[in-house]
Amino acid sequence: MNLTLRIWRQKGPEDKGRMVTYPVDDVSPDMSFLEMLDVLNERLILAGEDPVAFDHDCREGICGMCGLMINGDAHGPQRGTTACQLHMRQFKDGETIDIEPWRASAFPVVKDLVVNRSAFDKIIAAGGYVTAPTGSAPEAHSTPVAKANADAAFESAACIGCGACVAACPNGSGMLFTAAKLTQLSLLPQGQPERYTRVIGMVDAHDEAGFGGCTNAGECTPACPKGIPLNTIGRLNRDYLAATAKGANNTPGS
Amino acid sequence: MELFTEGDPIADTKAPAGPVEKRWETRRFEAKLVNPANRRKMTVIVVGTGLAGGSAAATLAEQGYHVKSYCYQDSPRRAHSIAAQGGINAAKNYRNDGDSVHRLFYDTVKGGDFRSRESNVHRLAEVSVNIIDQCVAQGVPFAREYGGLLDTRSFGGAQVQRTFYARGQTGQQLLLGAYQALERQIGLGNVEMNARHEMLELVLVDGKARGIVVRDLVTGEISTEMADAVVLASGGYGNVFYLSTNAKGCNVTATWRAHRKGAYFANPCYTQIHPTCIPVSGDHQSKLTLMSESLRNDGRVWVPKTKGDDRSPKDIGEDERDYYLERIYPSFGNLVPRDIASRAAKNVCDEGRGVGPTKLGVYLDFADAIGRLGRKAIEAKYGNLFEMYERITGEDPYEVPMRIYPAVHYTMGGLWVDYDLQSNIPGLFVIGEANFSDHGANRLGASALMQGLADGYFVLPTTIANYLASGPLEKVDASHPAAVEARTDVEDRVQRLLGVDGDRTVDSFHRELGQIMWEHCGMERSEAGLRKAIDEIRALREQFWQRVKVSGTGEELNQSLEKAGRVADFFELAELMCIDALHREESCGGHFRAEHQTPDGEAQRDDDRFAYVAAWEFTADGEPSVLHKEDLKFEYVHPTQRSYK
């Protein structure tokens, strides 16, 4: 296959950035999308040019490190698939492909297609956990968990923190990410004691990090490579309302 | 010149004597404690944020130490533990099927082909039950039965169901549990988190590990970080083969730099090759993807009986197929352990009976299981794996058999540590896959997660206190001559890599190195092959330093520079792996020497000569390494020949 790539190039956070066109020939349909970028980069390095910086690590769809806007779709055209698992057989010979970084004010561009997603870590640090210091745990079978709740908790816990939901959202909101963790923990008995302080803490951290608000545009779930359901945001809103009604805030003991 | 010399034997002096089931309890009591007020004044560096590093950093911070944590990824949540699929072993005996701490201990020592330390393995089995309690308390969503209790399943090398799991994403869920505990400590200000930072050197002051030199991967800034102790949790070195199931960034640099500073590297030749991975599809391939071992419960492995049979599998009749695992190993069939299944696949491909475009593949066929149980049942069990296979290969495994081939997956070798998980350098602790300690020559499925979390949550936080309590250490900062020297070395090295400005990319060298290693130090090794590999590695390494082309500068995000530093270290490790494989004139676990096999082609151990840990000491560039032997004694599990026929 022969392709024309138009790739966002930006030297650093201060650079304005621009789309640059690169023809790439002899692409095998069995290549992954990132392997196709590897081929381009090998060529650029030998030509003495700066290779395209992009984040990636496991290349099997679980670490959440890769994230590219491909023709305007987060992770590209195939649903339920991260960019690293997308293969070139999804594209046609002769096609022009636009490749851009995640665009959201909470995810500033570091270089080219690499963005800074540390805002996600801050949301988790603000309450996305169960306080259970090592050694303090009771016997695992002392608290049974209904299978339906355990399965639903797992479904939300499958989030890989890639940021596709934010990139797809017209508001640049991180609500699906936040709601996924909140839903997992609020469905489990272990998550109950901190349930309401958790939701306030995480939503506050979300807002402070510069993410936009959720207006139920519904763009996030279709872009999510793990299919985190939209109703998790409904659960977040319910818990948030309950928490504010109770007067809970993120101060311990209140 | 000789390839190596032999030095004094070494021994683990930390494991207490007495009955094996009392040793950990004894050690915990004898280990000195640090009082809470003093912990606040002590800093511990932890490199890596996988199951071992993440759980250790969180636990040390909970105990009151000041922790500095480092990872090369953009977030601690992305460490490669996240990709572990199958599960985690624990001797809970919830099934009432005869499991016990002693049985898990026994299975692990035997599974490791009698090349691990009994004291360490027993402790691992003891602690396994605490891990499950801890993870459940954190909200890890393990699979559960309808009654609300935890579900377990079977895994290779065991006759009990002791593997806890969260669908095919157990590693992810356990890692997120540790990550969340870590983030809590970051939020409380007890852990200083440094993502996108890579350790490039270890700093020794008066023979003790006192700091590291790191490069900020975004700005390129090189800095020296000092502490009272350093913990390496930087994972394994499978990427020396270029193609492996490891993440692209996994590398040996942290442990290799420590090795060059004096830490012994133990059993580097012990690598695990996993039998069920998606085969290589072409020269562009950048990594390999595992298909869970659980598939062999229902899939049947076969190749055509005749060489070069290019027909589509549908056109090959039953009587023209060779279900070779069922034929050679009638009692275990398709469920033989990983090392056996991998070697058998290699043998049939070497005979010219491999399938697929590259002829390096065998079929894993679900037609019988689909016929017997129905497509729905297979979908429920393996749906996500079938989908992943379809995405990568473009073939539908419900219709045509999967093609699989072995791939490098895990490395049992690593830095030598004593029972306290301390290397031979005081103050340098090594945990998780980065050390060599618990799996001997072959790791059982679902035991890597167990070891990572055992080390990080429970073992290290106890044993490191014993070291720190011997202080207080002299206060040192980044202006100490040893720190300045280490930093200058790193800066020089970066400049040297940038300065070659040759005509070959880092990846092209890495690929070629990987081919040498796979060919001669992979599933089957021989004296002639290993000697050839050593020569080829040396020649290629010389070429690397003359011809590598690294673009850009050191003062920016430069992924080509990052790779160059890692590959340079892989070259040195590769040579040591071959020397270790060459000197070990026996076959054991993942190390199969062609010269040492039973008449029917199975691994032939030589306990009289090789029942020891090979701990290698670095001397100088171009000088032979020194071999130190740690004798292994088996008081509880008597070494036997493994047979799966």
Query: Do the chains contact at B133 and A139, CB–CB below 8 Å?
Result: yes
Portion 194-213 of A in contact with B at CB < 8 A: none
Q: Report, as an integer, the average pLDDT of B408-424.
A: 98
- What's the pTM value of the predicted model, to 2 decimals? 0.97
For B249, name the nearest residue in chain A, comparing CA atoms only: A57
φ, ψ at B548 (rounded to 5°): -70, 145
Of B55, B169, B249, the CB nearest to A57: B249
Query: Do the chains contact at A144 and B186, CB–CB below 8 Å?
Result: no
Helices of type H across B81-196: 101-111, 118-137, 170-187
Q: For chain A, report the end-to-end CA distance as a whole number of angstroms.
A: 62
User: Hey, CA dihedral for B162, B165, B170, B174, is it positive or negative?
Assistant: negative
Query: Do the chains contact at B74 and A139, CB–CB below 8 Å?
Result: no
d(CA B477, CA A112): 36
Q: Report, as an integer, the average pLDDT of B258-275.
A: 97
| B179/chain A closest Cα distance in angstroms | 9
Query: Do the chains contact at A87 and B394, CB–CB below 8 Å?
Result: yes
Q: Are B555 and B494 in contact (CB under 8 A)?
A: no
d(CA B559, CA A127): 33
pLDDT of residue B282: 86
| A116/chain B closest Cα distance in angstroms | 7
Q: Are B77 and B437 in contact (CB under 8 A)?
A: no
At A127-160, the pLDDT tens digits run 999 999 999 999 999 999 999 999 999 999 999 9
Whether the CB of A137 is below 8 Å from some CB of chain B: the reply is yes
Of A34, A39, A137, the CB nearest to B133: A137
B157, pLDDT greater than 70:
no
| A44/chain B closest Cα distance in angstroms | 9
Chain A, chain B: beta-carbon pairs less than 8 Å apart: 221
Of B82, B181, B284, the CB nearest to A129: B181
Portion 27-66 of A in contact with B at CB < 8 A: 28-32, 34-36, 38-39, 41-42, 44-46, 48-51, 53, 55-65
Query: Do the chains contact at B503 and A64, CB–CB below 8 Å?
Result: no
pLDDT of residue A248: 57
pLDDT of residue B642: 76
At A210-252, the pLDDT tens digits run 999 999 999 999 999 999 999 999 999 999 999 998 775 555 4
Contact list, B166 vs chain A (CB under 8 Å): 154, 157
Kindly indicate the confidence band of residue B292, based on its pLDDT and cuts at 50, 70 and 90.
confident
Contact list, A163 vs chain B (CB under 8 Å): none
User: Hey, CA dihedral for B430, B473, B457, A61, is it positive or negative?
Assistant: negative
Contact list, A59 vs chain B (CB under 8 Å): 247-248, 286-287, 289
Percent of chain B with pLDDT over 70: 100
Contact list, B138 vs chain A (CB under 8 Å): 129-130, 132, 190
User: Hey, CA dihedral for B132, B135, B137, B142, is it positive or negative?
Assistant: negative
Q: Are A34 and A54 in contact (CB under 8 A)?
A: yes
d(CA B580, CA B600): 25
At A185-197, the pLDDT tens digits run 999 999 999 999 9
Query: Do the chains contact at B392 and A48, CB–CB below 8 Å?
Result: no
Active-site residue list of B: 338
Q: In what order do the strands lie in the sheet with B197-205?
A: B197-205, B208-216, B222-226
For A133, name the nearest residue in chain B, comparing CA atoms only: B62
pLDDT of residue A249: 57
Query: Do the chains contact at A58 and B80, CB–CB below 8 Å?
Result: yes
d(CA B343, CA B602): 10
Whether the CB of A134 is below 8 Å from some CB of chain B: the reply is yes
Whether the CB of A190 is below 8 Å from some CB of chain B: the reply is yes
**Which residues lie closer than 8 Å to B539 by C-beta, 6 or more apart?**
none
At B426-453, the pLDDT tens digits run 999 999 999 998 999 999 889 999 999 9
CATH of domain A3-111: 3.10.20.30
Domain residue spans of chain A: 3-111, 118-246
Q: Are B473 and B450 in contact (CB under 8 A)?
A: no
B293, pLDDT greater than 90:
no
Contact list, B172 vs chain A (CB under 8 Å): 62, 158, 160
Query: Do the chains contact at A62 and B172, CB–CB below 8 Å?
Result: yes
Comparing B134-138, B282-286, B413-417, the range with the smallest average pLDDT is B282-286
Contacts 24+ apart (CB under 8 A), A237-242: A239/A182, A239/A186, A239/A195, A239/A196, A239/A199, A240/A199, A240/A200, A240/A203, A242/A196
Best B180, B395, B403 residue to mutate vs chain A (most A CBs within 10 Å): B180
At B597-611, the pLDDT tens digits run 998 888 899 999 999
pLDDT of residue A254: 38
| B246/chain A closest Cα distance in angstroms | 7
pLDDT of residue A253: 43
B239, pLDDT greater than 50:
yes
Of B146, B176, B218, the CB nearest to A110: B218
Query: Do the chains contact at B142 and A150, CB–CB below 8 Å?
Result: yes
- Specify the pairing of strand B43-47 against strand B229-232: parallel
| A151/chain B closest Cα distance in angstroms | 7
B506, pLDDT greater than 60:
yes
Comparing A53-57, B108-112, B121-125, B486-490, the range with the smallest average pLDDT is B108-112
d(CA B564, CA B349): 34
- Specify the pairing of strand B300-304 against strand B362-365: antiparallel
CATH of domain A118-246: 1.10.1060.10
Kindly indicate the confidence band of residue A37, based on its pLDDT and cuts at 50, 70 and 90.
very high
Query: Do the chains contact at A121 and B186, CB–CB below 8 Å?
Result: yes
Whether the CB of A87 is below 8 Å from some CB of chain B: the reply is yes
Query: Do the chains contact at A190 and B80, CB–CB below 8 Å?
Result: no
Scan for tokens 């003359």, then name that residue: B546
**What would the two tokens of residue B15 be?**
């494991």
Output the CA torsion B523→B524→B527→B528 (10° steps): -100
| B9/chain A closest Cα distance in angstroms | 37
d(CA B131, CA A134): 9
Whether the CB of A224 is below 8 Å from some CB of chain B: the reply is no
Query: Do the chains contact at A157 and B75, CB–CB below 8 Å?
Result: no
Query: Do the chains contact at B286 and A78, CB–CB below 8 Å?
Result: no
Whether the CB of A163 is below 8 Å from some CB of chain B: the reply is no
Q: What type of residue sits at position A52? A: V
Whether A3-111 shares its CATH topology with A118-246 is answered no
For A145, name the nearest residue in chain B, comparing CA atoms only: B148
Q: Are B388 and A85 in contact (CB under 8 A)?
A: yes
Query: Do the chains contact at B551 and A49, CB–CB below 8 Å?
Result: yes
d(CA B429, CA B463): 9
Domains of chain B: 275-407 (3.90.700.10), 481-631 (1.20.58.100)
